[in-house]
Structure 1
Amino acid sequence: MKHVKIMGIPFTHITHRTLVQKLEEHIRLGEKSFIITANPEIVMHANADYEYMRSIHKANYITADGIGIIRASQLMKEPLPERVTGYDVMIDMLEIAEKEQYKIFLLGAHPDVLNRVEANIQKYYPNVEIVGKHDGYFDWNHNDVAEQVKEANPDLTFVALGAPKQEKWIAQNIDQFEKGVFLCVGGSFDVIGGVVKRAPAYWRNNDIEWLYRLLKQPKRWRRMLALPRFAYRVIKQKLKGCL
């Protein structure tokens, strides 16, 4: 499969529809798959953290979850086809799980949010079997979360620990699982649980979802600083012919 390398990260040249088809195929064949939906913030963090970069490189698919990634690929004359977000992939996989009665495991978020996510999935996708769940508040050095997932043997594990924790957790533990799709979904649990409202279609379609999030959550401004730094690095390296 074709990849586009941006600041050391090999983004998969794939559409949302094709990725969902691939993941469904992995489930049918009993295969493992690790999916990261990466934005400029993740790229910048990986370039400052070698271990995190190693974790990201263990993924089977790394998609462009952010207009900044798409613009960078266009600047490189190797345009990625479209944004592929963790939330959208999760929703489509839940619809497939509803039809095929797949088993899922939910990992991440605050306990109260996690309970709301479970309730909403059971309400809107009643044929989906939730075989386990665990909130995101656990000691990484002394926990049995991976064992719980292994024992539950899900077809799909949605990991909502936020970056960089979710990518590191999957990378550290995926070798002990025999099968299953492991999808990083970031703040998707907050949306499904009704805690956070997703940006309306207008903002998403006009590539300004980041602005909507900033207006709704001003505390995100520090995280948003990664965007201009990312743009500067991409342009600088392009001019130097290093990309």
Structure 2
Amino acid sequence: MQEKVNILGVEFDNRTKQATIDVIHQNIKEEKKTFIVTANPEIVMYALQDQNYMDTMRKADHIIADGAGIILAAKMLKDPLPERVAGFDLMKDLLHIADQDKLTVFFLGSKEEVIKQTVANVAKDYPNLIIGGYHHGFFKENDHRVRDMVKNAKADLIFVALGYPRQENWIMQNKDLFEKGIFMGVGGSFDILAGTVKRAPLIWQKLNIEWLYRLIQQPTRWKRMFAIPLFIKKVIQYKKRKN
């Protein structure tokens, strides 16, 4: 089985969620710096319009298929991926590993009240992991104080919730300055951990309509939803050219 599946120039990991977790866990044990992008159609469409962001994504160690649209596109291109790997689920699995192995975790991003509640909830739910530190997302890109705070924490896991493209750009700009760490952009995941936004019920997740549940909860996201049909259109056009 090939390791990567190319969708509109973005190389997605061709792995199940469990296989992904196993690879990341091994990297943690080896203290191997790892940059993870969880990409959905919206992120792919943005990368197609922004070459700098596409270059950043291509330097990632793992690009995870976080979105039903990505799974659909892979099927359309007759190069199917095994399953969707939701970024939030992957983050929770890594928190479980951190709890089990007593690892250090750093949380970066979101609003101040959200990040504080996130850290409080994580400390309660995963009592054996070590909170290496946290900082809200309202800082300038080149703020060395934030960078130094993360560096000094020497964390095993660094979750960055700044939203794309900012979270991936921040990771790319700074990860070489750190000794170790699994760096993962997690978008709005802190809102769910904090309890300010509810995760879609399991049935919605299984039906691959979690995006619709989020839209109902956050109607202001409707403009962003246009990326999905545009993405599918691009895939169809690419498939026609390929054939």
Shorter-chain TM range is over 0.9
Post-superposition Cα deviations, 1:16-44, rounded to whole Å, max 9, x if no partner, equal 11111111111111111111110000000
What is the 5 A alignment of 1:213-224?
Answer: 213-224=214-225
Q: 1:7 and 1:156, CA in 2 relative to 1: closer, same or farther beyond 3 A? A: same
Is 1:69 equivalent to 2:66 in the alignment? no
Whether 1:6 aligns to 2:7 is yes
CA distance in 1 between partners of 2:144 and 2:32 (Å): 25
Shift of 1:117: 0.4
Cα distance, 1:230 vs structure 2: 0.4
- The residue identity in structure 1 corresponding to 2:76 is L
For 2:84, the aligned partner's letter is R
Structure 1 equivalent of residue 196 of structure 2 = 195
Between the two proteins, the alignment pairs up a number of residues equal to 242
Q: Is the Cα–Cα contact under 8 Å of residues 40 and 230 in structure 1 kept in the other structure?
A: yes
Q: Which runs of 4+ in 1 moved over 3 A?
A: none
Q: Structure 1 unaligned runs (5+)?
A: none
SS at match of 1:133: strand
Structure 1 residue 212: Cα displacement: 1.0
* TM-score normalized with structure 1 length: 0.97
Separation in 1, partners of 2:82, 2:150: 33
Aligned-partner Cα distance in 2 for 1:184–1:142: 18
Aligned partner of 2:207: which letter? N
Distance 1:144 1:82 in 2: 39
Structure 2 CA distance, aligned partners of 1:111 and 1:120? 14
Cα deviation 1:180-207 (Å, max 9, x = unaligned)? 1111111110000000000001111001
Cα distance in 2 between the residues matched to 1:81 and 1:177: 33
Match of 2:116 in 1: 115
Q: Secondary structure at the match of 2:55?
A: helix
| Map 1:1-243 → 2, pairs under 5 A | 2-241=3-242
Identity %: 48
Give the AA of the match of 1:190. D
Task: Write the distance in 1 (CA, Å) between the matches of 2:89 and 2:227.
Answer: 23
Tell me how large the CA RMSD over aligned residues is.
1.1
Q: Distance in 2 between matches of 1:13 and 1:145?
A: 34
Counterpart contact for 1:55–1:172, Cα < 8 Å: no
1:142 is displaced (CA, Å) by 3.5
Give the counterpart letter for 1:87 in structure 2: F
Structure 2, unaligned stretches of length 5 or more?
A: none
Q: For the residues of structure 1 that align with 2:144 and 2:219, how far apart are their CA atoms?
A: 34
TM-score, with length taken from structure 2 = 0.97
